[in-house]
Amino acid sequence: MIFQKGILHKELPNIKFIPLIQLVQQNELLPMTLILKLMYQLTIILNTIHFEGQKLEKIRMEDLFVNDCGQLDKLDIFIQQTLIKEDRPKQEDDLLNLLKDILIKFGLNPFNINKLKSFEEILYYILEKLNINLKKDDWRQQILQSIYGLEIKDSKCYNQNFTHIFSVKVPYYIQTKQDYILIKWVCVENQKNRLMEVENYKKLKIENNNDNIKQLYCYNLELQNSTLLYLQKFSLTLKEYSVRANGILNIKEKMKICSKLASELKKLHDRKKIHRDLKPENIMVTAKEIYTDKLHEITDQNINQIDQLQWSIIDYESNIEKGGKDNFKGTQNYLPPENMEEQPYEESYDIWQMGICFLEFIIQVNFHCTKNKEKRYQSLQQQLEKLNSKDNKSTYSVTMYEIISKMINSDPKQRPKLEDVIKELNSALIN
- Tens digit of pLDDT for each residue in 35-87? 999 999 999 999 998 888 888 878 888 999 999 988 888 899 999 888 888 76
Query: What is the amino acid identity at position 180?
Result: Y
Question: How confident is the model at residue 426, as a pLDDT?
Answer: 94
CA distance 353 to 355: 5
CA distance 265 to 278: 9
Whether the pLDDT of residue 295 is over 70: the answer is no
Closest C-alpha among 155, 303, 318, 159 to residue 242: 303
CA distance 248 to 300: 9
User: Among the CATH numbers 3.40.50.1110, 3.30.450.40, 3.40.50.1100, 3.30.200.20, which is that of 143-232?
Assistant: 3.30.200.20
CA distance 266 to 330: 20
pLDDT tens digits, residue range 224-281? 888 898 988 777 889 989 998 888 999 999 999 999 999 999 988 998 989 999 999 8
Which residues, in sequence order, are CB contacts of 415 under 8 Å at separation 6+? 348, 351, 352, 355, 406, 407, 408, 409
The reply to whether domains 3-134 and 143-232 share a CATH topology is no
- Whether residue 42 contacts residue 64, with contact meaning beta carbons closer than 8 Å, is answered with yes
Domains of the chain by residue range = 3-134, 143-232, 236-430
Instruction: Give the CA angle between residues 62, 229, 293 to the nearest 5°.
Output: 105
* H/E segment holding residue 202: helix 196-208
Whether the pLDDT of residue 411 is over 90: the answer is yes
CATH hierarchy code of domain 3-134: 1.10.510
Q: How far apart are the first and last CA of the chain?
A: 41
Which DSSP letter does residue 347 get? H
Question: How confident is the model at residue 90, as a pLDDT?
Answer: 57
Question: How confident is the model at residue 303, as a pLDDT?
Answer: 84
Architecture, CATH, for domain 236-430:
Orthogonal Bundle (1.10)
**SS3 for 274?**
strand
Question: How confident is the model at residue 212, as a pLDDT?
Answer: 44
Question: How confident is the model at residue 110, as a pLDDT?
Answer: 95
Whether the pLDDT of residue 1 is over 60: the answer is no
CA distance 37 to 35: 5
Instruction: Give the CA angle between residues 178, 184, 185 to the nearest 5°.
Output: 150
- Whether residue 233 contacts residue 176, with contact meaning beta carbons closer than 8 Å, is answered with no
Closest C-alpha among 321, 317, 318 to residue 344: 321
Whether the pLDDT of residue 420 is over 50: the answer is yes
